[in-house]
Amino acid sequence: MQRIVVCVKSELDATGPIFLIEPTVKINTKDLVPILNPADHAALALVRNCIAQEDGQITVLTVGPPSADKVLRTCLATGADSAVRVWDDSFMEEKMDAKNISLLLSKAIKKLDAELIVCGSESLCETSGYVGPALAELLDAVQICKVDFMQCDDGDGSMVFHRKHNYGNREVISSSLPAVVTVDFGAATPPVVSMKESIKAKKMPITLFDLAELACESSEINADANANILQYIPPRPRTKKLNKAPDKPMTKQQKMQMMLGGGASKKNSSVVEGNPKQAAKEFIDFLIAQRIL
Amino acid sequence: MSEERFDCIIVGGGLAGLTVAYLLANEGLEVLLLEKGNYSGSKNMTGGRLYGNSLERIIPGFADIAPVERRVVKERLSIMKDTVMQMVEYDASGVFVQEQEGESYTVLRGKFDKWLSEQAEDQGAMLVCGIRVDDLIIRDGKVCGVVANDEEMESDVVLLADGVNSLLTQKLGYKNKLGTNQVAVGVKEIIDLGADVINQRFNLSDGEGIAWMFVDSNEVCDGFLYTNKDSLSVGVTLKVENIHKAESSVPQMLEDFKKLPEIAPLVSGGRLVEYSAHLIPEGGMDMVPKLYGDGVLVAGDAAALCANLGFTLRGMDLAVESGRLAAEAILAAKEEGEFSEQSLSGYQTAIEKSAAISCVKGAEICRKAVTDADSMKDPLDAFNSALQSAQIGGKAVGDNG
Amino acid sequence: MADNLNVADKLGANKFYTDEHNSHIAVDKEYPDKEEIDRVIQACPAALYSIDENGTLFFDYLGCLECGTCRVLSEGKLVTNWNYPFGSLGVEYRFG
């Protein structure tokens, strides 16, 4: 029976429209809602799809205050078998950067004696991609990134992983354990929310690991971060290319693009055909008309 | 028969559903609340103003701990007659209908309902979000539970608090298809301005708010404006049957409303942070469905317990009140040991005596008062006398009293 | 009629969890009554119904605010099936 830990993060939902606070140019987090990092959810889904419950027990693990229990319950309802949260009253949320979180996770993982550790490749809000590699280093484990399939090897305690490579190629990797594996968002789709699973998940206990449980000194944790965010630079404003309603309704894709992008251009492309001389003339006329020449 | 069952399953995590969950869990009942959105409030929307009385009864001092936006201290009523707009400003203890005394607050549902759901959970209610209930389990005419995406869950009683559209109340046959004369479509923008700008533009202190209703004598397009902590809620409502009277589209009406000289300077420089729409029950007594049956009760907007009184809207507080009365009826039935139509009938009696029905009856009267030509002289007087003559309420206090 | 661009911009301020595969509202694209169609186009707060110069009806469930106006106006006629999106999907109001 494999012992698997999936590390998850409860973070503020930055997938919707986000705004920056003037003049500090920081993200305005006031109205953002905490959610389960989609890449972490994909990681959990991938593990559960590839490894059946009788072959591997999944513990989801997170570092967070009691409000993070909500994402653990979502995981319990969608494939996880047990859940652990790491938090101590002495922790300050602002000091919980990726470095400290990785340290705490690694201690918890050692305590759980996991063979396979899986997490999303990056979070929505920070997108640093730090935790996966950091865990591998701290646990002295093999690290394999951007995995989209896995399977236990028969008997000898190693596992096989698939990952996408460039240009449609795929790699098949055999690895010893322990291994830390990161999964991109989209590699697997979490199952649809089930009423019964959600109810069951609500009743399951969540184990709390505090500093004492982890045999960790608080001095190890609250060290100042080495890299500090100076500012966020917003994208430059895009001019709206359309001053009036388009004369024919936009396709689904164009509409979504407009909604997400704040303005889309109506593509009015045409293909220049004919013999090279004719085509060249047509092309030059086009460039002149567009005031490029 | 599934292994697990609950005392009560509540469909809908809005104010009515959450009130029932809170009260029943508080009494130790096993309660399951199913909400289709990812959290309570995520699929809900209000203008909007919450009269505090009914929730104060349940959670005294709730406004000190709940995320209310601003306490309403000023009210404005503008009556639009053709091109003329007459505005009256009065203090917030103005004309009232039964049990409107006490404070009222502007709220945002995404925050407020979420807070109330946490209170219900603290009482021990089990809230499961992201679940859309598709059907009811009915055996021998008795509602025994719910079906969500082919999963069944049973309970002794089901409370339907699934909003104005309430597909389930309709499936039960307790409610007819919604008529276009029974609902108004409300569309709203939340415009972020910052607390200081709002305080300055409306001459308010921090935490103080204004509720401003615009009533169209031609009954085409009403409007509203509420001050939130840092933003304004600005919108229009239109009875769906009156669409043909309107010259422009519903979204265009909102645009035009924002351009009115009374509104434009107040919203200028703001940033749109949310655009929402919802239906408001405005069908009066004809719209109120059968409220109870074997193993089932209906509360909140699903029971059409909502009233557009012209000078104000009562809906959220009536939902809370109906939730309280539904919880009482369920507890009484539990004492009797059965949840038959007979044992739940106390709910109907209680609702009929409550502010909910007074308001629903009052809404039609008030609408008539505003279209009356004389109302231009003193609109508050017109509402006042209309309500008094119907023995529903009516007491004008304040600048025009 | 509705200024499509403005409304789509406004919808861009909202958070949506889109159902990639299913539309929660089914529309009869061949519905003959033009007046009925015009009424629904006029009424939809999200301006999701539209008609092109050839008279072809378009409906886009993305951006739906799930109010039910089209259902009240035209269920059984232009709208052949109306439901809320599957649980957890559709619009998510942060403010409400």
User: Quick one: which H or E segment has residue A161?
Assistant: strand A159-164
- CA B8 – CA B28 distance, rounded (Å): 11
Q: Does residue A229 sit in helix, strand or coil?
A: coil
Q: How confident is the model at residue A258 (pLDDT cuts 50, 70, 90)?
A: low
Which residues in chain B are closer than 8 Å to C2, comparing Cβ atoms? Answer: 249-252
Average pLDDT in the B173-182 region? 94
CB proximity B372 to A under 8 Å: no
**Beta-carbon pairs below 8 A across chains A and C:** 57
The predicted structure's pLDDT at residue B2: 47
- At residue B325, the 3 state secondary structure works out as helix
Contact C14 A33 (CB under 8 A): no
Q: Which residue of B has its CA nearest to A67?
A: B118
User: 3-state class of B379 per DSSP?
Assistant: helix
Query: Which residues are CB-neighbours of B122 under 8 A, at least 6 positions away?
Result: none
CA A244 → CA A182, B189, C2, C5, distances in Å? 46, 22, 11, 7
Alpha-carbon span A42 to A151, nearest angstrom = 16
How far is residue B287's CA from residue A292's CA, in Å, rounded to a whole number?
Answer: 64
User: Which of B267, B231, C16, C45 has its CA nearest to residue A31?
Assistant: B231
- Interface residues of chain C, partner chain B, Cβ below 8 Å: 1-3, 6-7, 10-11, 13-14, 17, 39, 41-47, 65-69, 71-73, 75, 83-88, 90-96
Average pLDDT of the residues of chain A = 84
Domain assignment of residue C85, given as a range: 4-92
Q: Which two tokens stand for residue B41?
A: 């409030």
Query: How confident is the prediction for chain B on average, in pLDDT?
Result: 90
DSSP state of A258: H
Nearest by CB to B126, from A17, A31, A199: name it. A199
B98: confidence class by pLDDT, cuts 50, 70, 90: low
This complex has an ipTM of: 0.95
Give the DSSP H or E segment for A208: strand A206-209
> In this complex, do A17 and C52 lie within 8 Å of one another by their Cβ atoms?
no
Q: Do the beta carbons of residue B387 and residue B95 sit within 8 Å?
A: yes
Q: In the prediction, which pLDDT does C79 show?
A: 96
Where does the pLDDT of residue A268 fall: very low under 50, low under 70, confident under 90, or very high at 90 and above? low
Q: Among A32-46, A265-279, B271-285, which stretch is predicted with the lowest mean pLDDT?
A: A265-279
Q: Is the pLDDT of residue A49 over 70?
A: yes
- pLDDT (mean) for B346-374: 83
Q: Which residues in chain B are closer than 8 Å to C36, comparing Cβ atoms?
A: none
* Whether the Cβ atoms of residue A210 and residue C13 lie closer than 8 Å to each other: no
pLDDT at residue B375 in the model: 53
**Is there a contact between B110 and C90 if contact means CB atoms under 8 Å apart?**
no
**CATH for B5-51+108-175+283-372, options being 3.50.50.60, 3.90.1150.10, 3.40.50.300, 1.10.540.10:** 3.50.50.60
pLDDT at A244: 45
Q: Inform me whether the C-beta atom of residue B149 falls under 8 Å from chain A C-beta atoms.
A: yes
> In the predicted model, is pLDDT for residue A7 greater than 50?
yes
Q: What is the C-alpha to C-alpha distance for residues B2 and B144, in angstroms, rounded to an integer? A: 12
d(CA B47, CA B186): 8
What does residue B235 show for φ and ψ, rounded to 5 degrees?
A: -165, 180
Mean pLDDT (whole number) for C20-45 = 93
Which chain A residues are closer than 8 Å to C95 by Cβ?
A: 31
Q: Is C87 helix (H, G, I), strand (E, B) or coil?
A: coil
Chain B, 103 to 132: residues with Cβ < 8 Å from chain C are 108-113, 129-132
Residues of chain A contacting B153 with CB distance shorter than 8 Å: 195-196, 199
Section B248-272 average pLDDT: 94
Residues of B within 8 A of A198 (CB-CB) are: 128, 130-131
Q: B273 and A199 in contact by Cβ < 8 A?
A: no
Q: What is the pLDDT of residue B87?
A: 86
Q: Does B126 touch chain A (CB under 8 A)?
A: yes
Q: Give C1's pLDDT tier (boundaries 50, 70, 90).
A: very low
Is A245 within 8 Å of C95 when comparing Cβ atoms?
Answer: no
A90, A197 contact by CB (below 8 A): no
Which residue, A185, A13, A70, A157, is CA-closest to A60? Answer: A70
pLDDT band for A6, please (50, 70, 90 cuts). very high
What pLDDT is attached to residue C54? 86
Contact A196 B153 (CB under 8 A): yes
Q: What is the pTM of this model?
A: 0.89
A260 neighbourhood in chain C, CB within 8 Å: 12
- Pick the more confident residue, A97 or C63: C63
Domains of chain A: 2-220 (3.40.50.620), 238-293 (no CATH)
B167 CB near a chain C CB, below 8 Å? yes
Q: Scan residues 330-389 of B and list those with Cβ closer than 8 Å to C.
A: none
Q: What is the mean pLDDT of residues B205-218?
A: 92
Under DSSP, is residue B23 helix (H, G, I), strand (E, B) or coil?
A: helix
Cβ contact B130:A74 at 8 Å:
no
Q: What's residue B377's pLDDT?
A: 64
pLDDT the model gives residue A255: 61
Nearest residue in B to C88, CA atom: B130
Mutate to test the interface with B, among A31, A35, A204 (most CBs of B within 10 A): A31
**Residue to test with chain B: of A198, A200, A203, A204, most B Cβ within 10 A:** A198
* C81 vs A27: which has the higher pLDDT: C81
Chains contacting A (3 or more CB pairs within 8 Å): B, C
Tokens standing for B243? 């669409």
Q: What is the pLDDT of residue A202?
A: 95
CATH number at residue C78: 3.30.70.20
End-to-end CA distance of chain A: 70
3-state DSSP assignment of residue B206: coil
Q: What is the per-residue pLDDT for B217?
A: 83
Each residue of A97-137: pLDDT tens digit?
888 999 999 999 999 999 999 999 998 877 888 999 999 99
Total number of domains constituting chain C: 1
Region for residue A60 given its phi and psi (left: phi exceeds 0; alpha: psi -120 to 50; beta: otherwise): beta
C65/B243 CB distance under 8 A: no
Query: C94: nearest CA in chain B?
Result: B110
| A&B contacts, CB < 8 Å | 32
pLDDT in tens, A223-237: 666 667 777 777 777
User: Could you tell me if A258 and A264 are in contact, meaning their C-beta atoms sit under 8 angstroms apart?
Assistant: yes
Distance CA C44, CA C42 (A): 6
